[in-house]
Copies of this chain bind each other. A is one copy, B any other.
């Protein structure tokens, strides 16, 4: 238990806490690289503006591959990722599944989650993950006290809608290589925002099965396309990390904008 499986994201170097509850919550968030994005930022800026304190939350740590949120869970808690990678998906009874998004530090599953339980969604850790659980009613209350908190949420909301639209466009109308290239570029961009890129290199804990489920393809085909990309020196993958060697060409392959 003391030695962790993979030395992934080095977010929490200051406080690798194991207990379920962390009273000194501002401290640990202060180190979080995701301060600039998404819900966390919203909550923190709200607190720093002297309004109500941050709502109560409990911190949890789960190992890789563990379920964070179960599809038939009807919970009053909304999880927000603090460190590590996880994945949000829906599945068919026969096993086919579609990944809707990769969740990085600072991400909540969906803004819709703030207003009611979103059944059918499965959230699963890819690496070891720490996350916070907020009580829905707390967040809601906070939302009504702060009109500009509301503004920020609605902005996130719009973003989320745009993301969903793009996903549909990708899955419905793009080729396999385009989808994969876009997924890589998209992740790179999001990691960069969080200061989690070193140059053109990122930690890349995803299995090919994850990429397959996110792009609506087969693991086998993903392997072939990634192979082509590497032979064409667009990217390089080794020991759970990915480097973009030729961003310009990769963007062309992705038909980016």
Contact = CB atoms under 8 A, between A and B. Distances in A.
Given A116-B155, A144-B147, A173 B110 contact: no
Nearest to A88: B165
A67 interface: no
Q: How many monomers of this protein are in the complex?
A: 2
Interface stretch (A4-12, A49-57, A78-86, A95-103): A95-103
Interface stretch (A25-33, A156-164, A189-197, A220-228): A156-164
A98 B168 contact: yes
Contacts of A96: 173-174
A120 interface: yes
A174 to B, nearest CB: 8
- Chain A interface SS verdict (over half): helix
B172 A115 contact: no
Given A116-B154, A144-B147, A110 B161 contact: yes
Nearest to A157: B112
19 contacts: A92-B169, A96-B173, A97-B173, A98-B168, A98-B172, A98-B173, A111-B157, A112-B154, A112-B157, A112-B161, A115-B154, A115-B158, A116-B158, A121-B165, A157-B157, A164-B165, A171-B172, A171-B216, A172-B216
